[in-house]
Amino acid sequence: MRSAAVAIARRWAGPASLALAALLGSCASLAPRAPLKLTILHTNDHHGRFWTNADGEYGMAARKTLIDRIRAEVAASGGQTLLLDGGDVNTGVPESDLQDAEPDFKGMNLLGYDASAVGNHEFDKPPAVLAKQRTWVNYPLLAANIYKDGQRMFQPYAVFERGGYKIAVMGLTTDDTQKMVLPANIAGIEFRKPADEAAKLLPELRGQADMVIAATHMGHYPDGNRGVNAPGDVEMARQVRGLDLIVGGHSQNPVCMAAENQRNEAYVPGQACAPDRQNGTWIVQAHEWGKYCWTC
């Protein structure tokens, strides 16, 4: 898991420094930037698992211990970190459901999440519950393709600065949401095609950031074989060129590739994990429930 992460981090540092060297050749007054060593920590499909289960698994306390340790290791080596989630905080176990996921959202604050995609399960309860949950978080819930009464319902993206570089994170939610939740919960809400919204936003984000990441809740379907599902991360990467990384969720798989366009369905934690790559875009997903907090 960590070895795959290092490969992605180096890919980012190398091209950035080469592009900068070319720029300095024509404008010697600009001060060079050191290559960015960036580690992305990511989770997805939390589904209410805020505390340890009867078998001593999962839980946000354990996740925080791991995240804090990785952050310290990265900082000690001169690197930067960003913590993202691929959505679906809601709906999983009674302890969370009966509290409208308050422990989960507030726990994510304590873990220091930088941003999260909006998942389809964020619409499982009436709009008043979602409105309340949005007041609990101190990080942005991102969704560029969800509109209410013709206006974007959520912040479409956020831009973070790390090591002198700007990193844009765009949120996208599966358009299958409209057929997965109670109609009363999404009255007046439109789920537009994620790839279309990404294509519209990408030129704007490329104009203000050095790196563009999509935090998505769309699903990973190997080679785009999605069956009855709406298009997922693979299809979007093939349609929208220019994304550096997709941090996904929804299909609840560890995205570890056995070969080109073939996911390793027999992946066992501890094995090396090679992320998917489509059209120049890396695609990652960290299974579900906080089983893994992956780094890339």
Q: Which pLDDT score is estimated for 293?
A: 66
**CB atoms closer than 10 angstroms to residue 218:** 34
Between residues 221 and 31, the one the model is more confident about? 221
Query: What pLDDT does 242 receive?
Result: 95
What is the reported pTM? 0.89
Domain boundaries, the chain: 39-295
Q: What is the pLDDT of residue 2?
A: 37
Cα 226 to Cα 53: distance, rounded to the nearest angstrom: 32
Q: Where are the beta strands (DSSP E) in the chain?
A: 38-43, 80-85, 115-117, 141-142, 146-148, 151-152, 157-162, 165-173, 189-191, 211-217, 245-247, 257-259, 262-263, 276-278, 281-284, 294-295
pLDDT class of 270 with cuts at 50, 70, 90: confident
With respect to CATH, is domain 39-295 assigned 3.60.21.10?
Answer: yes
Average pLDDT (115-132) is 98
Q: How confident is the model at residue 33 (pLDDT cuts 50, 70, 90)?
A: confident
Query: Is residue 56 very low, low, confident or very high in pLDDT (cuts 50, 70, 90)?
Result: confident
Q: How confident is the model at residue 19 (pLDDT cuts 50, 70, 90)?
A: very low
Q: Which tokens go with 5? A: 């992460």
Distant-in-sequence, close-in-space partners of 169: CB < 8 Å, separation ≥ 6: 82, 84, 114, 115, 142, 157, 158, 159, 160, 213, 214, 215
**CA 286/CA 293 separation, integer angstroms:** 7
Count CA atoms closer than 13 A to 50's CA, side-chain side: 24
Residue 186 has pLDDT above 50, yes or no: yes
Sign of CA dihedral 202, 225, 43, 148: positive
Question: Can you tell me the mean pLDDT for 259-266?
Answer: 94
Other beta carbons within 10 Å of 237: 25
Least confident of 21-25, 212-216, 265-269: 21-25
- The mean pLDDT of 39-66, rounded to a whole number, is 92
What average pLDDT does this structure show over 163-181? 97
Q: At what angle do helices 102-111 and 60-76 cross, to 10 degrees?
A: 20
Residue 207 has pLDDT above 80, yes or no: yes
Q: Are residues 260 and 227 in contact, defined by beta-carbon separation less than 8 angstroms?
A: no
Per-residue pLDDT band for 54 (boundaries 50, 70, 90) equals confident
Q: Residue 31: what pLDDT?
A: 64
DSSP state of 138: S
Span 119-128, mean pLDDT? Answer: 98
d(CA 248, CA 174): 11
Rounded Cα distance between 170 and 161, Å, is 15
Residue 109, pLDDT > 90, answer yes
What does the pLDDT read at residue 29?
Answer: 42
Percent of the chain with pLDDT over 70: 89
The per-residue pLDDT of the chain, averaged, comes to 89
Sign of CA dihedral 81, 87, 92, 95: positive
